[in-house]
Amino acid sequence: METQEQQTIVTPKKKKWKLLIILFFITAIFAGVYFFFLTGGSSSPTLKLIPYKSGDKWGYIDNEGKILINPQFNYANVFIDGIALVKSAEDKYGYIGEDGKYRINATFKDASSFSEGLACVVPENGKPQFIDDKGNVKFTVSTGEVCGIFNEGLAPVKIGEKWGYLDKTGKIKINAQFDYAYLFSDGLAAVAMTNKEKGETLWGFVNNKGDIAINYQFKNVGKFNSGLAIVYDGKKYGYIDKTGKYIINPQFDFAGEFKNDLAIIRQGSMCGYIDNTGKIIINPQFNTASSFSENGMASVSSSDRKYGYIDKDGKYIINPQFEYSSDFFNRIAFVKSSDKWGVIDEKGKYLINPQFDEINVDIERYKYKTVVSDYFDVNSIVEKFLEGTDQKSFRNLSSKTTIAELKKSFPNITVNNNSWEATSADNIVLNEHSLINNVSFTFSENPVLKQKPVYRTVQKYDYWKGNYSVQELDHYENIPNDNAKLQSVTFYFYLSSSKAIEKSEQIFKAILESWKGKVSVTYNTEIPYVFRSNYMTLMIAGYGMSSGNNAIYQVTF
């Protein structure tokens, strides 16, 4: 999990969109990955303790720059209701209190911050679970692959390839039927459906019963806030009410949500602000802009990409001078200068001189991270791969297996010319994440190929006998020696998902462990196994060999 330097900065020219732009330009791509949901949120993030980075570790300071929790974490989030999500030096997620001590030990492969009293966590090789702030498991999402946080009593969950919503008992409240889904806000949630024939994804809104409140019709949408939601018709941005009626017609090149009575808009390459009637209050003139804070100040950047702060009349209160600047929080803001972060007051005076490598003030981001299941059915791969394995054979193969017998199991086997090898491109599906897409064999007998004479018919003339046909040798054809016996076999695994690639070492170790008691197995531990691609290789018997992108086990039985 990475941090963002600023919450709501719009950067139209560089496409280095921060959170506000992400709300409208994401296409909800998942694998593995993170997906950002639009949300309102009811938990209470604070900046009483501020996450900061020194070197490669994170700790916490107070508003005066005093170190309260020493840098020790690989990641640190803002405190929410007195508890913060952190990542340990061992790259495990856990939760600390304001004293810096773990309230929930760092044992999780993935985790979200708390929202509405619950957080989603994933144990090593486990399925998503929702826990309370004591670490008690409230329920496990046995069918879900990806989970978001709770907002307005519901949390999005991805089951298979579709999204639905859970309630706080773990029950599916809205069936998984959407291609994409956001968090609920103002009683409605944005959902999308894709027409694969047209290659088109359209967004609409559902209520908390799953009923369509606003039909699928928009190219992209934002969440509802104060009764309005941003929508994109494929050309321009505008705003609708909860009936789907346009309150502000699509006319902007970009639009942000309303916050403190104003919303960011972009026309051409410049940003300005409108009110909730669509009237331009501050003319587009800034290179980037963020939402107004409660103190009536907003971070903007000028044409030379220097950041400062304006009031609601569009006048500079703090002149552009910083490399980056955050919103104001409790009358302080965080600015970057000479590649270091510091803290200023409302007059632009430094309260803490720039000295920190990074400061995490992205209060909103805790809502957007989803948690991905780490569960992977290694056993199904092992069991499928070891079918037909006993003390005398491996997958019904042994040193007595001949080429003739191999042809029955591998119809596409090809014996290579002038070698002791054969290969087969027959796919052996292990599960939805993996298959064996190539198998190679070596044989103990030479030649593997025998030469078969091929004759041609020619006409010859005999004076006494007249014309007659004779057979003359034309060439020799190489044919497999069906009696050649197997010496070794190498299986090439293809892993079709990022999760399978991540579990590749675990798969091989499980295979080797499962052989115990079935076959007498030894393998060369001096050959390093590395996984640099989605291919793995396993050699059974014979001699091992190393390849740059594959992991080779030299195994003899």
Q: CA-CA distance, 120 to 35, in Å (whole number)?
A: 14
Q: Encode pLDDT of 428-460 as tens digits.
A: 888 877 888 778 887 876 666 667 787 787 777
Closest CA to 382 of 281, 493, 458, 547: 493
Q: Encode pLDDT of 53-101 as tens digits.
A: 999 999 999 877 889 999 999 999 999 889 999 999 999 999 999 999 9
Of 372, 403, 431, which residue is a domain's last?
372
- pLDDT surpasses 50 at 382: yes
List the structure tokens of 130: 């929702």
471 occurs within a structural domain: no
Q: Encode pLDDT of 453-483 as tens digits.
A: 877 877 777 666 667 777 777 776 777 788 8
Same domain, 300 and 437: no
57 occurs within a structural domain: yes
Same domain, 328 and 416: no
34 occurs within a structural domain: yes
541 occurs within a structural domain: yes
Residue 433 sits in which domain range?
A: 378-448+483-556
- pLDDT surpasses 90 at 541: no
Please give the tally of structural domains in the chain. Answer: 2
The pLDDT value given to residue 460? 72
Q: Which residues pair with 51 in a beta bridge?
A: 60
Same domain, 406 and 287: no
- pLDDT surpasses 60 at 351: yes
11 occurs within a structural domain: no
Q: What is the mean pLDDT of residues 191-204?
A: 94
Number of neighbouring beta carbons within 10 Å of residue 200: 12
Q: Are 307 and 18 in contact (CB under 8 A)?
A: no
The pLDDT value given to residue 35? 30
E strand map for 295-433: 298-301, 307-310, 316-322, 324-329, 332-337, 340-344, 350-356, 358-359, 371-372, 413-415, 421-424, 428-431
Q: Say which DSSP state 38 is in.
A: P
Side chain identity at 200, as an amino acid letter? E
543 occurs within a structural domain: yes
Same domain, 362 and 382: no
Of 372, 404, 439, which residue is a domain's last?
372
Same domain, 108 and 238: yes
Q: Are 403 and 482 in contact (CB under 8 A)?
A: yes
Of 351, 372, 393, which residue is a domain's last?
372
Is the peptide bond preceding residue 447 cis, with omega within 30 degrees of 0? yes
Same domain, 198 and 336: yes
The pTM of the full predicted model, rounded to 2 decimals, is 0.74
User: Sorting pLDDT into bands at 50, 70 and 90, what band is 221?
Assistant: very high
Closest CA to 49 of 33, 30, 64: 64
Q: Are 433 and 385 in contact (CB under 8 A)?
A: no
Same domain, 120 and 248: yes
Q: CA-CA distance, 415 to 247, in Å (whole number)?
A: 72
461 occurs within a structural domain: no
Q: Say which DSSP state 445 is in.
A: S
Q: Across the chain, how many H-helices and E-strands are there?
A: 5, 47
Q: Encode pLDDT of 500-513 as tens digits.
A: 877 877 887 787 77
Same domain, 30 and 135: yes
Same domain, 187 and 66: yes
Q: Which residues pair with 372 in a beta bridge?
A: 146
Same domain, 317 and 396: no
454 occurs within a structural domain: no
Same domain, 410 and 354: no
User: Sorting pLDDT into bands at 50, 70 and 90, what band is 287?
Assistant: very high
Q: Are 397 and 412 in contact (CB under 8 A)?
A: no
Same domain, 246 and 391: no
Q: CA-CA distance, 324 to 327, in Å (whole number)?
A: 10
The pLDDT value given to residue 363? 72
Side chain identity at 174, as an amino acid letter? I
The pLDDT value given to residue 504? 77
Number of neighbouring beta carbons within 10 Å of residue 85: 27
Closest CA to 391 of 485, 514, 517: 517
